[in-house]
Each structure stands twice: as structure tokens, then as C-alpha cells.
Amino acid sequence: MTRKARRRLHPIAIMAGLGKELKNMVVPLLVIMAAGSRHGFSWTDILVPLAALIYTLVMGVLSWLRFTYEWDDTCLVVEEGVFVRKKRSIPLERIHGISVTEGIWQRMAGVVQVHIETAGDALGEAEVTLRAISREEARRLQRCVEQAKHKAENASHPEPLANRPHPVLFTLSMKEVWVASLTSGGALGVVAALCAFLSQFSDFIPYEALVRDIQSTWNGHGRWYIALLILSILLAAYGVAIVQNMIRYASFVVRKQEDTIVIARGWLERKAVSVPVDRVQGVVIHENWLRRFFGYASVSIIHAGGALDGGPSGEVVLCPLVKKHRIVPIVQACLPEYRLDVPFCPLPQRAKSRYMLRPLYWLTIPVGVAAYMERPWGAGLLFVLPLALWIGARRYQAAGWALSSKQLSLRNGWFRRTTAHLLKRHVQSLEIATTWWQRKKQLATISASVMPVGTRSRVVDVDEEDAASIYRWLQGEKGDQT
Amino acid sequence: MLRNSGKPISEKAITVWRWTGALGTLVSGAVIGGMAWVLARFHVPKWCLGMLAGIWLIEVVLWVGWVPVLRQRRWRYAIREEEIDIQRGVWSTKRTLIPMTRVQYVDVRQGPLLKRYGLASIAVFTAAAAHEIPALPMEEAERLCCLIAEWAKVADDNDA
């Protein structure tokens, strides 16, 4: 392929960009207007929002005009910037992952948004977003990237371009989407977002009067109504979280194309994330207590790059909900190097008391004070303490580690049990920490970190000798030299 | 258990850490003094102010007197062809292993305090985190920096 003429995005990109900008502007603008119009309305109040609006519109069009892109079989070149021109050229084989999204705007014009992830995200220049290009172009870009990678790996025999359909490794049925959304526990996130949203309006919602009203209602016979109200708000938030997750996980499909895992999902907004296998740094299995009860878990892969999936940086969801016995074959098919069915070593018996007492360190005093303040009924709070002991014991049971010649696996947690499988060649550093108390019981905390920055898994209170053997496992064979 | 095979860092580190500790306690002394002043204006009982002064004194003793010595005594580093092995920590002892193949780059760093005592620290960066060996003699730091760079490169070639 020869270098083509520089190209612009589809004009719908203006709308998509504007939509995003305006969404971020709405709340601050409303606050400004509300603060200004306290002493009656006048036309100057809408001056600032109007100026902001016009500025955004003009900038939107200008930045679309100045945004051009092109690629040949080695490089992707993007030029952008209204006042400061910026030209970035990205070697195709350096691209870590591509995610293709069809948002609402993009669907209207029949185009897709392509998000490209490259190395070096510490510099904050790691990502390029082509906001609206045709679907065929996106596919062509993906193919070029794959080809460039192949060429970089084995220059001798270029693999024939595969147009045959790739086997589907994992899908979610509608029922599973429903269960996954039901058990994902996103309601707290929705409540937090709601609170954050409401706090923006503290200027003109009379919270103090509201609190006073609530107090008088509470003192009357209204406390059941208030409880009911709070319950219904929580339920509504839960409902919103469920719908969000259903939209997110609808038509979830995982495929493997040569050396790339492609995860497609979404209903209103279609999204396809492709992650090259050699960029995968580890496999993480999350089991929250509710899903574990029904024998389900979710599987993520740690990806050496930014947040391709909108989740926490570096994690891409491979299976949002899967029966436990299916995990091994699925991961085996995607990432044949990983062994998930390793036998886990438990922690020594002497760690158990430490696990059980740990929650009490920070619970006892607040619970005790609260129980004392609300004397007759507050004493019921004291039941929290044995519960904490019990949870500590469960956490002790859950924690463990496994070691094979090529792989380290660490597991911990009870509410949300997390099992991380890391290959030896991906472990960036290993740390063994012992506090004074741990040393007395010959225990240690091991933690291993992998790419991207800040991704580490750890297990507290491993037997000292075991920790030492894990340390030696990562150590080289040669003796001391300085 | 793991045997301790590393080399200690320079003893001048204690002096450097005493200085940084002194600066830190000056700052927190200002904060605590401000708090005491505000509290005194509200006629808080004397023993409260005494307690604040006591907290500050303890802080000074810890950060200027005790912690720098312990910290220097705990520090060990070993740089081998295949790995960097670091041991440190006062409250909890930490032992860190960085395979040489994972090292991305190395820095020699020298602040004004370190410079005054002819010291430098080296920072080893992997793709996941930065690890620092503080307070080495200047020539030693530079030598180690070159050595690590050399070995990291060699190791990288073998890996590929």
C-alpha cells in the first residue's frame, strides 16, 4: 500500500466532539447562571454561557478542519491542533491495542470511532482517537497493524491474510447478561455519581432547610417514610446500574484472531477491543461473594497500556460472568501459556489469628463509641465484631499462592476474591516485606508488580520460608557479583 | 530464610537524613505551633498544649535522632548480573528483587544536600515502578549506573 492523501474524519465527528464537550459544560454553566441570576434575571446572565457555547462551536469546527490522518504500511500519521500544530507519527507495530466504538452519533452516520493505544503512556501522549472513520477503513487499519506486527516478528514468512471466520471463544446469553448486571454491585457507583451531581447545585438547593424538614419529619411519625424514600432511591440506583451493565455487556463476544484477542460488546454503543496476546501481562479472576455463591466468576486480563475498556487502567474484561468450570478452557484458548488449575498453597495456621484480628484494629473503637452513645439499642452494633472475626477467618481461608516454574499465582480477599496469575517473564519486581509483628511469627507479605505502573498483587502473611522460595524463584542462577 | 548479602550504603546518609528530618520537623513544628496558638486563644487547658509540644518533641527525636540511624543500618543493596536486590525499611523490612531484564533505564540523582556530602542516589526504572538506592558515594553511583545499563542491555539481548 502506498501512502494516501491526508484525510479528514467524517463531519459527524464535529457533532460527537461537541456532544462530549457540552455534556461536560452543562453543570458548571448552570451553576454560573444560577449564581448570577440570584437578584432577578437580566440578559447579562446568559452572556458567559453564550460565549462559551459559541467558542466551543467554533473550536469544534476548527479542530475538525485541522485534524488529518493518514497511514501506509509502516506508520500512522496524525496532524492536529488549532493554535499549536502537532504532528504525531506512530509506527504500526508499536500499537498496543485498538478499540472500535460505535457511539450514538457514529451510528447515525454509519461510521466508527477508533481508539488507538500505544506505548509510553507515562508521557500522556499514548492515545490517539479517530473520532469518525468508515467501518471499512477501521478494518483496513486493524489489518495493517496486524500485518506490521507480523512483519516485525517474522520477516521471513509473511502469514497469509486470514479472512476466514474466527471461532467464537466466549459469549454471554441474554440471561447471563441479566445475572451479570444483577450481581455486579454497581449501585454504589450510581449513588456516588448522583451525590456528586447534587453537590454541584448546593448553591440553590436549600439543603439546610431540607435537613431541618427531615429532622422534624423524623421526630414525628415520618421516619418510616424517610426509610422508604432512601430504600427506593437505593433501589432506583441499583436499577440504573443494572441497565447500564446490561447495555455494556449485551452481545458480548470474544474471538481470537491469530495473536490478537478481540472482545466485542455493547448494545447502544458497540465496542470492539483488540488486545495482542504478547501485550497481556496477567490474568485476574474476580469472584465477589454473591457470584461465588452461584458458582460464577469474572475474568479480566491485565493489559500493558491504558484503559482500553473504560475500566481501571490496565484491566480489560474477558468474561463478565462465567461458570467457574468454563474459565480454564476459555483462558487456555486465549492465552495458552497460562495454567489456571494450579494447586494453591494455604497460609500457615499461625497467620489465622492475625487475619481475624486485623479488622478489629480499626473497628473496635468506632463501634464501641457508637454503641455507647446510642445506649440501649446501639449495643446491637457490637455484633459487628464477631462478624468481623468471621470475615477475617474467611479471608484467611481464601488467601494463598501457587508457584510453577513459569508462573506465580496469588489469591486473596473474601467479599471480592481476586486471583492473579502472572508469568515469570512479566514480573517487573518482587517485594517481600516483614513488619516486626510478622517477624515474630515468621510470616511475610509478598507482592509482585507487573506493567502498567501501579498494578501489583499481594498476599499478606505467607510463611517466611515460602516467601523466600518465591524470591529465589525469580532470582537468577548466577552467584554474587557487584 | 534469605541471607543478607548486600553492601551497605554510605554512612554519610545518616547526616543527610538528619538534615531532611530536621527540615521536615521545622515545617510540622510551624503547623503544630499554629494549632497551639489558635487553641490558646480559645483558652484550652494547659495540658492540651503540653501534649502538642510532646508530640512535636517525639517527632524530632524520631526523625532527627533515631530513624536515620536505623534506616542506614537496614539498607543493603546487591547488584548482580541478573538482578538488583534491595533491602530496606525501618518499621517493616522490605526486600525487593528486580530482574535485570526488566530494567528500562537508570538515573543518577543528586540534590543539594546529597551534593554537599559528595553523595548521589541511583533510581532504577522498570515498566511498573521506580526503585531508588539513596546516598552512594558519587563515583560508586556513576559506576553502578553504567554497570546496570550495561547488564540491562545484555540481558535484554538474551531475552529477545
For the stretch A285-336, pLDDT in tens is 998 888 888 889 999 998 876 555 555 567 888 888 888 999 999 998 889 9
Shortest distance between the Cα of A426 and any Cα of chain B, in A, equals 8
Shortest distance between the Cα of A465 and any Cα of chain B, in A, equals 6
Q: Are A319 and A301 in contact (CB under 8 A)?
A: no
Contact list in B for residue A449 (CB cut-off 8 A) is 126, 128-129
Q: Supply the range of the domain harboring residue B102.
A: 75-157
**Nearest-CB residue to A482 (from B79, B89, B101):** B79
Contact list in A for residue B129 (CB cut-off 8 A) is 428-429, 449, 453-454
**Euclidean distance between CA atoms A442 and A432, whole angstroms:** 12
Q: Domain check: are B86 and B128 in the same one? A: yes
Instruction: Please enumerate in sequence order all residues whose Cβ is within 8 A of that of B160, keeping only pairs 6 or more positions apart, or say none.
Output: none
Regarding predicted confidence, which is higher, A123 or A245?
A: A245
Residue A433 pLDDT exceeds 90: yes
Could you tell me which residues of chain B have a Cβ less than 8 Å from any Cβ in chain A? 1-2, 5, 7, 78-83, 85, 89, 91-102, 126-129, 131, 159
Residue B103 falls inside a structural domain: yes
Contact across the interface for A471 and B95, Cβ inside 8 Å: yes
Q: Domain check: are B80 and B53 in the same one? A: no
Lowest mean pLDDT of A302-311, A346-355, B112-121, B138-147, name the range.
Answer: A302-311
Domain-terminating residue out of B70, B92, B122: B70
B95: nearest CA in chain A?
A432
Contact across the interface for A480 and B80, Cβ inside 8 Å: yes
Q: Domain check: are B55 and B16 in the same one? A: yes
Residue A346 pLDDT exceeds 70: yes
pLDDT band at A251 (very low <50, low <70, confident <90, very high): confident
In this prediction, residue A206 carries a pLDDT of 64
Contact list in A for residue B82 (CB cut-off 8 A) is 475-478
**Euclidean distance between CA atoms A399 and A359, whole angstroms:** 15
In this prediction, residue A204 carries a pLDDT of 57
**Euclidean distance between CA atoms A146 and A8, whole angstroms:** 23
**Nearest-CB residue to A428 (from B78, B95, B102):** B102
Best of B74, B102, B147 to disrupt the A interface (most A CBs within 10 Å) is B102
Contact list in B for residue A429 (CB cut-off 8 A) is 96-99, 102, 126, 128-129, 131
In this prediction, residue B157 carries a pLDDT of 57
In this prediction, residue B160 carries a pLDDT of 41
Strands of the A111-118 sheet, one edge to the other: A127-134, A111-118, A95-102, A270-276, A260-265, A253-257, A168-171
Residue B58 falls inside a structural domain: yes
Among residues B128, B4, B159, which one has the least CA distance to residue A448?
B128
Kindly state the average pLDDT of the residues A412-419: 89
Contact list in B for residue A431 (CB cut-off 8 A) is 94-97
In this prediction, residue A313 carries a pLDDT of 61
In this prediction, residue A242 carries a pLDDT of 84
Could you write out the DSSP letters of every residue in A122-146?
GGT--EEEEEEEEHHHHHHHHHHHH
Cross-strand pairs, A89: A77
Contact across the interface for B97 and A474, Cβ inside 8 Å: yes
In this prediction, residue A207 carries a pLDDT of 66
Q: Domain check: are B56 and B89 in the same one? A: no
**Nearest-CB residue to A453 (from B82, B95, B128):** B128
The model carries a pTM of: 0.76
In this prediction, residue A102 carries a pLDDT of 84
Kindly state the average pLDDT of the residues A153-167: 55
Residue B3 falls inside a structural domain: no
Regarding predicted confidence, which is higher, A269 or A432?
A: A432
pLDDT band at A122 (very low <50, low <70, confident <90, very high): very low
pLDDT band at A189 (very low <50, low <70, confident <90, very high): low
Q: Domain check: are B46 and B97 in the same one? A: no
B144: nearest CA in chain A?
A482
Residue-wise pLDDT for B43-78, tens only, equals 888 888 889 899 999 999 999 999 999 999 999 999
Q: Are A114 and A130 in contact (CB under 8 A)?
A: yes
Residue A75 pLDDT exceeds 70: yes
Residue A425 pLDDT exceeds 80: yes
Residue-wise pLDDT for A197-228, tens only, equals 666 665 556 666 777 776 776 666 666 777 78
Residue A160 pLDDT exceeds 60: no
Q: Are B21 and B63 in contact (CB under 8 A)?
A: yes
In this prediction, residue B34 carries a pLDDT of 92
Shortest distance between the Cα of B48 and any Cα of chain A, in A, equals 22
Q: Domain check: are B97 and B135 in the same one? A: yes
Mean pLDDT in chain A? 81
In this prediction, residue A195 carries a pLDDT of 72
B103: nearest CA in chain A?
A428
A153: nearest CA in chain B?
B160
Structural domain count of chain B: 2
Best mean pLDDT range from A149-153, A340-344, A374-378: A340-344
**Nearest-CB residue to A429 (from B7, B92, B97):** B97
Contact list in A for residue B95 (CB cut-off 8 A) is 431-433, 471
Residue-wise pLDDT for A103-113, tens only, equals 878 888 888 88
Domain-terminating residue out of B70, B92, B108: B70
Kindly state the average pLDDT of the residues A431-451: 91
Residue B56 falls inside a structural domain: yes
CATH of the domain at B151: 2.30.29.30
Contact list in B for residue A474 (CB cut-off 8 A) is 83, 97, 99
HSE-CB for B158 with a 13 A CA cutoff: 12
Residue A479 pLDDT exceeds 60: no
**Nearest-CB residue to A431 (from B91, B94, B127):** B94
Residue B2 falls inside a structural domain: no
Q: Domain check: are B37 and B100 in the same one? A: no
Q: Domain check: are B32 and B105 in the same one? A: no
Residue-wise pLDDT for B98-123, tens only, equals 999 888 888 898 889 899 999 999 99
Residue-wise pLDDT for A10-24, tens only, equals 888 888 888 888 887
| Amino acid in position A256 | K
Residue B20 falls inside a structural domain: yes
Lowest mean pLDDT of A142-156, A292-306, A395-409, B68-82, name the range.
Answer: A142-156
In this prediction, residue A1 carries a pLDDT of 41
Q: Domain check: are B62 and B108 in the same one? A: no
Q: Domain check: are B99 and B146 in the same one? A: yes
Task: Report the greatest alpha carbon distance in chain B.
Answer: 71
Kindly state the average pLDDT of the residues A60-66: 89
Domain-terminating residue out of B31, B50, B70: B70
**Nearest-CB residue to A465 (from B1, B127, B129):** B1
pLDDT band at A399 (very low <50, low <70, confident <90, very high): very high
Contact across the interface for A433 and B93, Cβ inside 8 Å: yes
CB burial of A96-133 (b: ≥16 within 10 Å; e: otherwise) equals: bbbbbbbbebbeeeebbbbbbbbbebeeeebebbbbbb
Kindly state the average pLDDT of the residues A270-293: 86
pLDDT band at A158 (very low <50, low <70, confident <90, very high): very low
Q: Domain check: are B61 and B81 in the same one? A: no
Q: Are A171 and A255 in contact (CB under 8 A)?
A: no
Residue B4 falls inside a structural domain: no
Contact across the interface for B82 and A468, Cβ inside 8 Å: no
Contact list in B for residue A481 (CB cut-off 8 A) is 79-81
A449: nearest CA in chain B?
B128
* Alpha-carbon torsion (A188, A189, A190, A194), positive or negative: positive
Contact list in A for residue B78 (CB cut-off 8 A) is 480, 482
Residue B137 falls inside a structural domain: yes
Instruction: Please enumerate in sequence order all residues whose Cβ is within 8 A of that of A11, keeping only pairs 6 or more positions apart, or say none.
Output: A64, A109, A132
Q: Domain check: are B105 and B43 in the same one? A: no
